[in-house]
Amino acid sequence: MKSTANTLPYETENLQKQLLDSQSTIVQLQEKIRWYEEQFRLLKQKRFGASSEKNPDQMQLFNEAESILDSLKPEEQGEQEETVSDTRKKPGRKALSPDIPREVVRYELPEAEQVCACGHALHEAGEDKSEQLEIIPATLKVIEHVQVKYACRACETGMTSAPKPAQPIPRSFASASLLAYIIVAKFMDSLPLYRQETIFKRLSIDLSRATLSNWMLKSAELLEPFYDRLHFYLIQQKRVQADETTLNVIQDDRETKSKSYMWLYQSGGHDNQRPVVLYDYQATRAGTHAANFLQGFSGHLQVDGYAGYHALASEHCILVGCMAHARRKFDEALKVLPKASRQNKHGLTQTALRKFARLYAIEKQIKALSTEQRYVIRQEKSKPLMLELKQWCEANVTKTAKEAAIGKAIRYTLNQWDYLVRYLEDGNLQIDNNAAERRIKPFVIGRKNWLFNQTPRGAKASALLYSLVQTAVANNLEPFAYIKYLLTELPKLGRHYEPEALDQFLPWVMTEKIPPLK
């Protein structure tokens, strides 16, 4: 029989091992609880909090950052007259636009009342003016095309009719203006076709959703060569931004819950004079779709951290990262902190956000400068700040858990670093991809209203029509007038024509024919 003295060391060793295992389990459970708490606070903020990414101390951070530029020489600062002021505009109603037609209604006293109580006649001593906005609901009219027929009484060989201009949809009563109205209502104002059906019904016009949908498909077919021409000019540019978002397409020969994607490509330079915005529907998020769409492109492609774009990286296609996505990770890390920790200005998250604020403050100050001036100032001012940010991330990466929000933010920034710093190489590059996100937002808003596309053909037509509307907006053209002009003039070219024939309709050459966007 073993003695008690001999078994004690073994029992002690087992107990110590169990204690270490328990402590390790406790630490893992505590980290998991912290992760769940972070996710709860983040979801709560997204559900009930403000969507803005502005930091409560943003004004202070930007004021601190703007002091970096105080030492710049006058020639480096350019002829900027813009000043940052904390004074708020006085509240008040904005004046009605002078471009709106006006009808003057004058109110005068009857002659019998233009006599004072003292018996003397009254004379005009001034006027009081006030304005009231009146609206005239949309009105419809029918254009009846009458083609006069001619015949010869002598030979009676046949009849000749006066030609009618080519129409956007042959044998349809839809005019270019009606089609443009429907397109802009859906693809700019996010008004689904079933709501437009109801609106037309109130105007005593019976237009079913099926008819409206068919008109959109026919319009897209007519405008497709022009979309391809815009695609040609986008590929020629040296700076392009890209982004993507989901949509649901019902009849795409896949499971109903399968996600499809709407990709967006647009001009990405600061000083671009020929902006193009193109949407492209694809069934998946595979990076090969972007590679196919941008085939032949040579320059800088600015995107977020999605790995699918990495397939495009080459000596001809240089990927540029998005600083806003890196900053957004830290902004989320701030939102998941408990309220007491959020108020600590010296915390890791708050420190990182101040570093990003300094970079953005410089961009705000140099926005109006030339490409060369932006490049010089970025090299002198932004580059050291970027190096400081990287060193800070490297110093703190081991102090944070991988699954923690702040840990994810730091690791994302370091993983994307080679792409994030590339905006310093070219003064015409943007610091982030926010411009592309703003362009894809109209589609996201519209998706909330119409929820899904019925078929891939409809999704492709939507992509094309969204492209033309947003390209018009990017070129400061009134979308309705521009789309109406295209639908009126393109049918006149006939079925067969060279792509160069479409150059006369490019948005940047139409500024004299199409009114500006107000």
Supply 471's token pair: 């390209």
Rounded CA-CA distance 280/136 in Å is 38
What is the per-residue pLDDT for 3? 55
What is the per-residue pLDDT for 231? 98
Burial class (CB in 10 A: 0-12, 13-18, 19+), 221: middle
Measured CA to CA in angstroms, residue 18 lies from 13, 26, 87, 104, 396 at distances of 9, 12, 64, 92, 32
Give the type of residue at 254: R
The domains of the chain are located at 172-296+451-518, 323-432
Rounded CA-CA distance 277/443 in Å is 12
What is the per-residue pLDDT for 303? 95
What is the per-residue pLDDT for 16? 79
CA 502 to chain centre: 27
What is the per-residue pLDDT for 242? 96
Q: Which residues of the chain have pLDDT under 50?
A: 1, 58-59, 61-62, 64-65, 68, 74-86
Specify the 3-state DSSP secondary structure of 319. Answer: strand
Note whether 242 and 263 are within 8 A (CB).
yes
Which of 465, 488, 483, 477 has its CA nearest to residue 512? 477
What is the per-residue pLDDT for 78? 45
DSSP of 418-456: HHHGGGGG-TTS-SSSHHHHHHHHHHHHHHHHH--BSSH
Rounded CA-CA distance 233/467 in Å is 14
Supply 82's token pair: 């813009």
Which of 344, 242, 357, 254 has its CA nearest to residue 303? 242
Cβ count near 54 (within 10 Å):
9
**Distant-in-sequence, close-in-space partners of 218: CB < 8 Å, separation ≥ 6:** 168, 169, 172
pTM here is 0.82
**Distant-in-sequence, close-in-space partners of 279: CB < 8 Å, separation ≥ 6:** 262, 263, 264, 443, 462, 463, 464, 466, 467, 470
DSSP of 232-285: HHHHHSSEEEEEEEEE-BSSSSS-TT--EEEEEEEE--TT-SS--EEEEEESS-
Q: Where are the alpha helices (DSSP H) in 110-208?
A: 176-187, 193-202
What is the per-residue pLDDT for 167? 93
What is the per-residue pLDDT for 27? 72
Measured CA to CA in angstroms, residue 393 lies from 163, 349, 390, 432 at distances of 72, 11, 5, 19
What is the per-residue pLDDT for 37? 65
- Model confidence over 402-437: pLDDT tens digits? 888 899 999 999 999 999 999 999 999 999 999 999
Instruction: Name residue, tokens 């119409």.
Output: 450
Instruction: Name residue, tokens 């998991």.
Output: 32
Residue 76: phi and psi, rounded to 5, are -80, -30
Specify the 3-state DSSP secondary structure of 174. Answer: coil
Burial class (CB in 10 A: 0-12, 13-18, 19+), 98: exposed
